[in-house]
Structure 1
Amino acid sequence: MTQPLTGDALDPSRTSRPPSLWRNRAFNLLWTGQCLSDTGSAMADLALPLLVFQLTRSPAQAGFVGTVGFAVTMISRLPAGLLVDRFDRRRLMIFCDVFRLVVYAVLACAVEAGAAGLAVILAVVAGSAAATAVFSTAEHAAVRSLVGQDQIVTAVARNEARAYGTSLVGPPLGGLLFGLGKALPFFGNALSFLLSLSAVLCIRRPLQQPRPATAPSGGGPGGEGLRFVLGSPFLRALLVIAAPLNMAFTGMIFAMTISLRRSGLSPVLVGLVSMIIAVGGLLGAIAAPALQRRLRLPTLITVICWSTAVLMALSVLVSTSIVTAVPLAAALFLGPTANAALFGYQAAVTPDHLQGRVVSLLLLAATSAAALAPALAGVLLAHVPGRTAMLVFPLLVAASALVATFGRGIRSMSRQP
């Protein structure tokens, strides 16, 4: 088993510029396949509530479908991590793609035949969410095996760019296809999983290191991974930093949307604001590798956290105007660099046989916090004046910045873990 990277090996001030990932066939196959399947999933995510609403005329039931998908994803995270560390990652990914391909093809055929009831839709959503949790965990864990040590942060940044890009392209395309034919977004999603499957099958390199003959210990899903996370100052800091950051961004965008509508801004302009913010994230993901090469990792994380807190606070000051999109887009521009540095370093210092469980724990903490953010923002906006309520989110980022500045975990990024 290879030794974990030292902080110096990941410190951009002490390494030469990493080679381009465009020459890495295995990584590019996986990345391209996921671009396509993420786009298909974004199309289906928009079309599913529209389909349920058309069938039931109930906004509550349309929203319930999304809640079921999210709940199943959360429940599946820890078991997914254990599966990814116990079994062959390639076979798991192939199985997940085949399963999602079949269930969405069945749903598309049912919609076309007029036989897609709520029970069928919920079964497809739940099954697909569980399979996606396993696939995404395996993909995160496989990065370390597909790229060189000096490419890990760049690879994570490329994945960040993919996520922002597909979130911009997928929903409009899903809406267009749904308008042309109710089954088309689901046929499109099934096709995207077929293309993803083809890409995974074409990858010849192993997606993991050789497994020991004995089963890993842990006393249950995530047990060994949890002990590893809690025993690492850096990973403990990552938990404390990532959860508030995710909650702050999600809550801030939700609260800003409500605030703009309250101030009388038209839905079209509110949509434009959201697009500006998303473009900021996409550009930030593209720029992330260059940004992270210019500063030592602990300094980079500290600067990004404090800058994000200040930019969010500025956004609060103009929260009733379209101008609020500018500082928030600038804050989101910095977000992918922080994610690439933090999760790239995590991938480097975590042993391969624990990658799945560690990734699943971190994703569970970050996404659970983000899921609570809209509810928190709604309660605050209902009981506290708008700008005062929104200041909670820059304060959350400031808390992360304090941990990054004074905590031992982030400072340890420049030393042997």
Structure 2
Amino acid sequence: MTTSLWRNREFNLLWTGQALSELGDAMALLAMPLLVLALTGSPVAAGLVGTAAGGARLLCRLPIGVLVDRVNRRHAMIVADVIRLAAFAGVGAAILTDRVTLPIIVALAVVDAICGSLFGTAEHAALRSIVPVAQLPLAMARNEARSYGTALAGPPLGGFLFGLAHFVPFLGNAISYLASLIGVLLIRKPLQSQVGREEGEGGYAAAIGEGIRFVFTNPFLRAVVIISAPLNFALIGVTFAIVVTLQRNGTSPAVIGIAETLVAAGGLLGAFAAPFFQRRLSLAVLGRLICWAATLLLGVSALLTSSIVAAVPVALVVFLGPACNAALFGHQAAITPDRLQGRVLSVMFLVSNSAAALAPVLVGVMVSAWSGSAAIAVCAGAVGISALIATVGSGLRSVSAPVEDAVAEEQQQPVTSS
């Protein structure tokens, strides 16, 4: 009989440490641009910080996937936490002594983005080693709840702490990485399998190519990245369009903040509801459901841009996201050999999120040239393409029955010591 996930010591240690760490990240995400604005008064300089972090995250994705597949994952997570702890503590000290500068903040954002990508990829890849295959979707759903919960609580807390003193949220984030570090150190089980790790050794280019081939030759994984790219673009783009349109209409920042809170709350509630959907709907049905629901609901949002009510349909789409993500990534973790977990995740994240990184710029152009409603309608149309692919294509239908049987032999193999 499978032990309850609540009694899985290793998973709960990792989950709790990351909950505190992601709360610190959410605080810092608000505090960094506020600090730049306090130093320079320039919105362009504040935007530079986010752009630098996003660029670093994209550029390091594929190399980090190889690294996670080749090194001890526990060690990778420890190194990432130690570097981020030192970086945020150092910047906190620089703020306290009036020595902080814009280049220092940009460097912090880049280091945080790279180490965050390393830790996140290693954590995703390690789940297969500490969670039974049958419980992977549930574990993913709990991780989704963690992410949405911290995204909801972190910014208000970060703003409050920044108001107390500018260095406080940075020091708080450093402490959150200490909590994450302790959690990783307390995990006893190894976080990677020995099976096949010696296979495919070679240069980074060859290793990255192996990960790319695995994703795009697997019908299911190929379908996921093709379907998710327009969906991610649309969700980021629509949220940005709503914020910009409300601002142009003279809506107060406090009310605009409520709109963003509605979207985050939808995701948090969806994470709690994810197990319910997973028990009743197949993975293929979940994938098609979120695509068609997003097409319809974002179309409705395009008609409501004069008020924060436009955020309600987006929140309903995000409500379905955790169940779909948990099922998709749970299946991905089950069908991917352990030695390829890092590379497959990196390829999927890169392809799925590359278009989303361009969404604010492209949607901003559309809002300026046409209107917020037109920009949201274009995003809804993009998701409609995903819905058609999900419905007509065979990728989601290629999910084989019981995944547990397909990986039973691999589960029985020995694992490395940590």
Fold match (TM-score > 0.5): yes
Pair 1:266 & 2:252 matched: yes
Q: Which among 13, 17, 21 is matched to residue 5 of structure 2? A: 21
The answer as to whether partners of 1:86 and 1:215 remain within 8 angstroms in 2 is no
Indicate the residue corresponding to 1:395 in structure 2: 381
The answer as to whether partners of 1:298 and 1:414 remain within 8 angstroms in 2 is no
What TM-score does the superposition give when structure 1 sets the normalisation length?
0.92
Deviations 1:220-260 (A, max 9, x none): 15111011111101111011011111111000111112222
Counterparts of residues 300-319 of structure 1 (less than 5 Å): 300-319=286-305
Deviations 1:29-70 (A, max 9, x none): 101101111111111121111112222222211211111111
- Structure 1 residue 143: deviation in Å? 1.1
Deviations 1:183-210 (A, max 9, x none): 1111101100000000000000111101
Indicate the residue corresponding to 2:167 in structure 1: 183
Pair 1:134 & 2:113 matched: no
Indicate the residue corresponding to 1:66 in structure 2: 50
| SS of residue in 1 equivalent to 2:258 | helix
In structure 1, C-alpha distance between the alignment counterparts of 2:120 and 2:229, rounded to whole Å = 19
Deviations 1:343-397 (A, max 9, x none): 1111111111000000011111222221111111111112224322211111111
Aligned residues: 401
Indicate the residue corresponding to 1:331 in structure 2: 317
Pair 1:85 & 2:85 matched: no
Q: Which deviates more, 121-130 or 35-44?
A: 121-130
Pair 1:158 & 2:142 matched: yes
Indicate the residue corresponding to 2:277 in structure 1: 291
Gaps of 5+ in 2: 407-418
In structure 2, C-alpha distance between the alignment counterparts of 1:128 and 1:61, rounded to whole Å = 18
Deviations 1:263-321 (A, max 9, x none): 34332222212111210111001111111110122122212221221111112122212
- Structure 1 residue 215: deviation in Å? 5.4
| SS of residue in 2 equivalent to 1:278 | helix
The answer as to whether partners of 2:303 and 2:373 remain within 8 angstroms in 1 is yes
| SS of residue in 2 equivalent to 1:317 | coil
Name the CA shift for 1:414/1:213 in 2 (closer, same or farther; >3 Å).
closer
In structure 1, C-alpha distance between the alignment counterparts of 2:362 and 2:39, rounded to whole Å = 31
In structure 1, C-alpha distance between the alignment counterparts of 2:374 and 2:346, rounded to whole Å = 34
Indicate the residue corresponding to 1:227 in structure 2: 213
| SS of residue in 2 equivalent to 1:67 | helix
The answer as to whether partners of 2:226 and 2:352 remain within 8 angstroms in 1 is no
What TM-score does the superposition give when structure 2 sets the normalisation length?
0.92
Name the CA shift for 1:313/1:29 in 2 (closer, same or farther; >3 Å).
same
Q: Which deviates more, 196-205 or 272-281?
A: 272-281
Q: Which deviates more, 400-409 or 323-332?
A: 323-332
- Structure 1 residue 181: deviation in Å? 1.0
- Structure 1 residue 19: deviation in Å? 6.0
| SS of residue in 1 equivalent to 2:395 | helix
Q: Which AA in structure 2 matches 1:76?
A: C
Q: Which among 81, 97, 101 is matched to residue 85 of structure 2? A: 101
Indicate the residue corresponding to 1:363 in structure 2: 349
Pair 1:207 & 2:194 matched: no
The answer as to whether partners of 2:238 and 2:375 remain within 8 angstroms in 1 is no
